[in-house]
Amino acid sequence: MPDFIYLASQSPRRSQLLDQLGIRHTLLLPNAPGDVAEDTESMEEVLPAEPPATYVERVTALKLDAAVQRHARRGLPDAPILCADTTVTFENRIFGKPEDAQDARRMLSELSGRSHRVLTAVALQAGGQRWAALSVSHVTFAALCAQQIAAYVDTGEPMGKAGAYGVQGRAAALISHLSGSYSGIMGLPLYETAQLLRAAGMHI
């Protein structure tokens, strides 16, 4: 068993969380120079009436399929490949990454003073075997005024993040309660990830 894994994610937070576990990892990212172009955005499209848990698990599986093909195409050394995807859901609606500052303000206004769920699916492939898990957490925002929301959006932190916030950043001052997996809310549930890595034979 190799002493490292491939992380097929562009999220620096997921890389930092693997460092926290002491897991050596190499990034396996799409669209490297000279490689086949990959349409990564189409993978994240929501299907009609698709439940949030089904969505996040399906997207993670698609990302892992693409990463496995990428690994084979590039002729890289064998090692487990890890993928994850996070979505925020409120009233069974999926809150993805905001399109712009106005969209971020809209999301945060809807989440203000209410609880929502954060779902992070994680999947690991080693050889012909695949393991998967789902982490479900709950986050409650304090009641936010328009000025608070605008000030947070102006920091730029909400952009590129599901639900328009990052729990590990300035949004922590706006969250009154959370339950579940803090690392899962960040983007990689460490308990579930460690379980998958152990199942693949890695020592944690």
Strand partners, 132: 123
> What is the distance between the alpha carbons of residues 171 and 36, in angstroms, rounded to a whole number?
37
> What is the distance between the alpha carbons of residues 198 and 138, in angstroms, rounded to a whole number?
26
Three-state DSSP class for 188? coil
Taken in order 192, 135, 99, 65, is the CA torsion positive or negative? positive
Catalytic residue among 85, 100, 103, 154: 85
Which H helix or E strand runs over 69?
helix 52-74
> What is the distance between the alpha carbons of residues 141 and 186, in angstroms, rounded to a whole number?
16
Structure tokens at 24: 């050596």
> What is the distance between the alpha carbons of residues 106 and 94, in angstroms, rounded to a whole number?
13
Q: Is 78 a catalytic residue?
A: no
Largest CA distance in the chain: 53
Are residues 171 and 88 in contact, defined by beta-carbon separation less than 8 angstroms? no
Residues with a catalytic annotation lie at 85
